A and B are shown apart, each in its own frame.
Chain A
């Protein structure tokens, strides 16, 4: 449901309500969260460029990739970046988050490390620990794109983990909900590696978001072993593909969960969702049916034959005399039948219908119903 989560972000927020927020989360077992994130980013960018979305611009808060990486990414996805300064701004928390480079330059050792290509698009944040300042910088960049009026913009944060590492959970949650409540923000989405933090941190962030897209491996490691290289074939099966579980929280409080398979295109590193129902079911079923030598599937004929079998009590109550078969009837009912087969047999049925044939081992064997189950107990 990658498309519908992009649509949710595209449609934006209603007057007086919080902006829709999307959490993309993954784990090391299936570390493709960034692919989903960049897919959403490029989809939203093309919506903005085509004026199809509520937001008129996007601010990318880059912690884990450089600004030039994002420019290249948009270029690779076929998005026109010539006019990019009109709709995209990057808050660069990647290049110098702790002011180390700045201090070095201050001490006289100059180095032109920053790349010129994206300088008009990005602004460096040199103190990522100060989230208040970051908040005002995000708003400043956004307003630079859409102006002070009623136009709105979107915000993308590529690593909540880095934010959490430098500050605390309450301050990060505070920043995110401040952003969501701002009247000029249309939508917001972020990426989270959920295994780096305690469950309560992850859930707190999930509560803040209206859509949660969780990237899961197609095949879980047995016993939840951490050594993900233990099983090479498992690793190969999970490589480049996975399952996307998307949870939508509607405004009326309803929650909808949808599952979808996806694979990462080998040549372009693009994220492609296996959206057709068949594709997904096949892909997942193939994974679930264990690879055994026995044939666990039925042929069409076997399936029809199985449907025809009348189960022992199924025919009761349709007019005929009620008979409860106890395995002894052959003795009492018809000698001829007994002599023919010396075995118990239920009534003959018309050809074409299935029947259950039961051979008793011998007449000495007591029928089950007569046995006292507690016979051997010495009470």
Chain B
């Protein structure tokens, strides 16, 4: 697409270069939002970008804790990506986790507990992929806070699961893209779970409302922080990016502050 260069989000993530391997390979990405400014659209954009025809080897394993498939299908269709077709092609695996509830602590000890089984399912899915696609899997989680709910509030269990997903990123070069809501933890004195996930991530994308309040033309601002900056092209420029966005019916506009009237 010719307007690819104009997409500031892709640029900040290094996706605007036609690079092989996939720029997010082996990376952990965390999208952090709050109730005033939802960051779901970033997840949708990344889902679309990952499944786009430019990178035919990419596969997405989507763990949905918050919405059913029809929700994502409707949104992605507007963005020009057919999830059902992709699922039939074996490039999109949708795990409906809406009803997942981990067994109690005692039952969990047997090893058949919710997240252990889920991890096995992911690992088996990746193993079953054709050889070319094995190293290009992306695990997406929507979202972490509901995962904690499914774990009956045991954040340790979620962190164990995250750790095992992290081993997949280092061993097989998978990417891990997660969404979390920051404002859930603001009242806590020591939000261990949130901090612990922050230590895991390589790229942090934060969606916030504008500091100056509501505006008609700007829906919020994104800050992209590349922790692992040694691999980023033009490193010093790209390690931190900040820009505004406006979510439209079937696209998102990104622009630098002050470039809109």
Contacts and interface: CB of A to CB of B under 8 A. Distances in A.
B240 interface: yes
B256 interface: no
A156 B192 CA distance: 24
Given A239-B239, A266-B235, A104 B123 contact: yes
Interface stretch (B50-58, B135-143, B163-171): B163-171
A104 B190 CA distance: 35
Given A66-B170, A94-B167, A195 B159 contact: no
Interface string A94-115: 1111111101100101010111
Contacts of A334: none
Query: Chain B CB within 10 Å — which of A99, A104, A193, A267 has the most?
Result: A104
Contacts of B124: 104, 109
Given A104-B123, A165-B159, A66 B225 contact: no
Query: Chain A CB within 10 Å — which of B191, B199, B204 has the most?
Result: B199
A236 interface: yes
A377 B228 CA distance: 69
B242 interface: yes
Nearest to B169: A66
A69 B236 CA distance: 24
B196 A95 contact: no
B120 A232 contact: no
B120 A229 contact: no
A229 B225 contact: yes
Contact of A165 (B127, B156, B170, B190): B156
A266 B232 CA distance: 10
B171 A113 contact: yes
B216 interface: no
B170 A195 contact: no
Interface string B105-148: 00000010000100110011001000000000000000000000
A267 B230 contact: yes
B227 interface: yes
A266 B246 CA distance: 32
A115 B225 CA distance: 30
Contacts of A28: 195, 198-199
A196 B159 contact: no
A232 B256 CA distance: 14
Contact of A240 (B116, B167, B239): B239
A306 interface: no
Query: Chain A CB within 10 Å — which of B171, B235, B239 has the most?
Result: B171
B229 A115 contact: no
Contacts of A114: 171
Interface residues of B, number: 39
B196 A100 contact: no
Contacts of B229: 240, 266, 269
A101 B123 contact: yes
Contact of B111 (A103, A113, A162, A193): A103
Interface in B162-206: 163-164, 167, 170-172, 182, 186, 190-192, 195-196, 198-199, 204, 206
Q: Is the interface of B mostly helix, strand, loop or mixed?
A: helix
A66 B171 CA distance: 8
B236 A266 contact: yes
Contacts of A226: 186, 191
A161 B242 CA distance: 32
A196 B196 contact: yes
Contacts of A328: none
B160 interface: yes
A277 interface: no
B240 A266 contact: no
Interface string A250-278: 00000000000000001111000000000
B240 A236 contact: yes
Nearest to A265: B230
Contacts of A300: none
B138 to A, nearest CB: 18
A193 B120 CA distance: 30
Interface in B199-240: 199, 204, 206, 208, 223, 225, 227-230, 235-236, 239-240
Nearest to A96: B167
Contact of A115 (B171, B240, B242): B171
A283 B230 CA distance: 23
Contacts of A229: 204, 206, 208, 223, 225
Nearest to B221: A232
Contact of B119 (A95, A100, A239, A269): A100
Contacts of B198: 28, 31
A266 B230 contact: yes
A65 interface: yes
Interface of B: 111, 116, 119-120, 123-124, 127, 156, 159-160, 163-164, 167, 170-172, 182, 186, 190-192, 195-196, 198-199, 204, 206, 208, 223, 225, 227-230, 235-236, 239-240, 242
Interface of A: 28, 31, 65-66, 68-69, 94-101, 103-104, 107, 109, 111, 113-115, 161-162, 165, 193, 195-198, 226-227, 229, 232, 235-236, 239-240, 266-269
Nearest 3 interchain pairs by C-beta: A269-B230, A66-B170, A104-B120
27 contacts: A28-B199, A31-B227, A66-B167, A66-B170, A66-B171, A69-B170, A94-B167, A97-B160, A100-B116, A100-B119, A100-B120, A101-B164, A103-B111, A104-B120, A107-B120, A109-B127, A114-B171, A161-B196, A196-B192, A226-B191, A227-B182, A229-B206, A232-B240, A235-B223, A239-B240, A266-B230, A267-B235
Given A109-B124, A195-B195, 16 more contacts: A104-B123, A107-B120, A109-B123, A113-B172, A114-B171, A115-B171, A193-B199, A195-B190, A196-B195, A198-B190, A229-B225, A239-B239, A239-B240, A267-B230, A267-B235, A269-B230
